[in-house]
Structure 1
Amino acid sequence: MSASYVLHCNNHIFWHANLTRTYMPPKDTRAAARRHGVRNGMDEREVKKVDSGYLGKDEDKSPAGDESKKSTTPKGIIKAIKLETLPNQHQKATPEQILEYLLSDAALQYCRPDDEARDIESHRADMITYSSQLLSPFEELLCAVVLSRPISHRLGLRTIRTILNKPYSLRDPLAIKTAGPKKVLKALEAACTQHKDKTADEISLLAEAVSNNDWHNDLSKLRAQSKNGVESEREVLRRSVKGLGKTGLDIFYRRVQWQWDEAFPFVDARTQAALGRMGLPKRAEEIEKLIESRWTDLNSGEGDGHDLETRKRRVFVVLLERAIGADLEKKIDQVLNEASKL
């Protein structure tokens, strides 16, 4: 029998072979069947269809004499795709492969916006980005305030790049207060972001809150006052920082937990959903076990210069960030495809 095709016809998909004589009964056999009334349950009209090799509907046949409408292909057939031409699907990647790939430099292209990579290439390699740099607790809090606004992931990261880098460099409370509200607003205008006025007010108020409470850039005094209790810290931040609600606090603690061990391990609901779509464990304890089981093979370089436990916490955070980044960029399939090749 000749090569099989998938035919899409009248909203049905069915298997069919090329209409050749290789599977039609010989003419003398068909003639004998008609002579003895053997039709295999078909009426005479259907038998004639088989004899002629035409299996379409009667109404599909062109009127006699209309040569332009005659066709040996049934009208309902839209296309035929050879099975041999279908692309090979990637084998399912294991959680270990996904972990290893996500922590590699190669994965970063799928976990951040394309314009971020272009900015780094066009400007300078030392550009501070939310996706790849180690940030101070204050910078993380500032980023959480920005990302709490109802703007896209891509626009939020562009805003962060603009305010943290030159010529604005709004990286600590003193820099923000020295710049003043007008320069903060100018930075947001340069980022072409949305809700500029409100975001500028919230950034200025954040700097005021940190300065007035004498929390400094590492927010260490906040932790001391809260006696390293996460719920107490969250409540103080919620009351002190305008515009910082549950979403912003989840973003902040997801990122800062490698530095604040009292918050570790923490996985927010949004990141759990991304991990699930990625095929990774969603519970914090299971992620810890996965990292521990592959630790000697990871060599991620994350958190170099810190003690072993801090480095493991840093890898935990990077894994969460890469997973949610790929999800927000809608590039999970690309990540899984590359991971399956390891």
Structure 2
Amino acid sequence: MDRSTGHRDKATVKALLDSEGHTYAEDAGIKLKNTPQPLYQALVAACLLSARIKATVATDAAHELFAAGMRDPRRMRDATWQQRVDALGRGHYRRYDERTATQLGDGAELLLDRYGGDLRRLRDEADGDPEEIRRALRQVPGLGPVGVDIFLREVQAVWPETGPLFDDKALQGAERLGLPARPEELAALVPKAAYAVFAAALVRAALDRHVVEEVAKAQS
């Protein structure tokens, strides 16, 4: 990378983070920490975000579930199926609400049975190995490869062994912004603590052309 390219890339990253410097977990009202409740909430948000639906709808639906008291696996499991459907509906998550309500209940049951509702136990059983963590997460109903990527992309700030994680959608955003579409090169553009925020911002650039336009305008 020559000096001019490096300067341009850093200017692009700054413009992007100035406008889009927040994670999807934050959008769902989650204050992410390495403790059971926020980790579980990030998992729920990842399940919702992995569907073919607008990200804002998914984060609104997650917010409604949590506002209705379904903030941990036990409360999610103990809620009725209809209560889960109704909360998803209030977030306008209607296309997949019935199936998702079932999956959330089944997923909460699995996490309680296998890990006592604490995703840190999953991480410990995997000895912090990213591939083992992925394999274990794939057992959660409704959490496919895309959902696993979203969850790990969001929690890499508190589970650093999973990063730097810039998934396919983040790499697509990087390409649209003229940034290098290689995870190791993207990681070099921000501090380690900013990986999750940067990745989420790149995803927004992939999903919304207006983000790319605003970044370009900020640099002109």
- Could you state the TM-score of these two structures normalised by the residue count of structure 1? 0.55
Shift of 1:253: 1.3
Q: Distance in 2 between matches of 1:162 and 1:151?
A: 16
Q: Distance in 1 between matches of 2:17 and 2:55?
A: 21
Q: Distance in 2 between matches of 1:157 and 1:248?
A: 14
Answering whether residue 1 of structure 2 is matched by residue 103 of structure 1, we say no
Tell me which of 181, 195, 206 is aligned to 2:96.
195
Q: Partner residue of 2:54?
A: 152
Q: Distance in 1 between matches of 2:39 and 2:110?
A: 14
Answering whether residue 152 of structure 2 is matched by residue 249 of structure 1, we say no
Shift of 1:279: 1.8
Counting only pairs closer than 5 Å after superposition, residues 283-298 of structure 1 correspond to structure 2 as: 283-291=182-190
Q: Distance in 2 between matches of 1:265 and 1:236?
A: 19
Answering whether residue 181 of structure 2 is matched by residue 266 of structure 1, we say no
Amino acid aligned to 1:158: D
Answering whether residue 26 of structure 2 is matched by residue 134 of structure 1, we say no
Deviations 1:38-80 (A, max 9, x none): xxxxxxxxxxxxxxxxxxxxxxxxxxxxxxxxxxxxxxxxxxx
Q: Partner residue of 1:17?
A: none
In structure 2, runs of 5+ residues without a counterpart are: 1-6, 33-37
Counterpart contact for 2:61–2:89, Cα < 8 Å: no
Counterpart contact for 1:112–1:325, Cα < 8 Å: no
Q: Partner residue of 1:184?
A: 84
SS in 1 for 2:188: helix
Pick which of 155-164 and 190-199 moved more.
Answer: 155-164
Q: Distance in 2 between matches of 1:103 and 1:134?
A: 19
Tell me which of 111, 131, 147 is aligned to 1:210.
111
Deviations 1:8-45 (A, max 9, x none): xxxxxxxxxxxxxxxxxxxxxxxxxxxxxxxxxxxxxx
Counterpart contact for 2:30–2:41, Cα < 8 Å: no
Answering whether residue 45 of structure 2 is matched by residue 143 of structure 1, we say yes
Higher strand residue share: 1
Q: Distance in 1 between matches of 2:50 and 2:141?
A: 11
Q: Distance in 2 between matches of 1:216 and 1:177?
A: 11
- Could you state the TM-score of these two structures normalised by the residue count of structure 2? 0.84
Q: Which of structures 1 and 2 has the bigger CA Rg? A: 1
Shift of 1:99: 1.5
Q: Distance in 2 between matches of 1:199 and 1:322?
A: 26
Tell me which of 210, 216, 219 is aligned to 1:336.
216
In structure 1, runs of 5+ residues without a counterpart are: 1-92, 114-127, 292-311
Amino acid aligned to 1:335: V
Amino acid aligned to 1:134: K
1:112–1:268 CA distance, 2 compared to 1 (3 A): closer
1:133–1:179 CA distance, 2 compared to 1 (3 A): closer
Q: Distance in 1 between matches of 2:138 and 2:79?
A: 25
Amino acid aligned to 1:320: A
Counterpart contact for 2:126–2:133, Cα < 8 Å: yes
Q: Partner residue of 2:8?
A: 94
- How many residue pairs are counted as aligned between the two chains? 206
Q: Distance in 1 between matches of 2:64 and 2:205?
A: 22
Deviations 1:128-183 (A, max 9, x none): 623x753322112111111222323332232223223x2x1322112212323221
Higher relative contact order (CA 8 A, sep 6+): 2
Amino acid aligned to 1:336: A
SS in 2 for 1:192: coil
Higher helix residue share: 2
SS in 1 for 2:142: coil
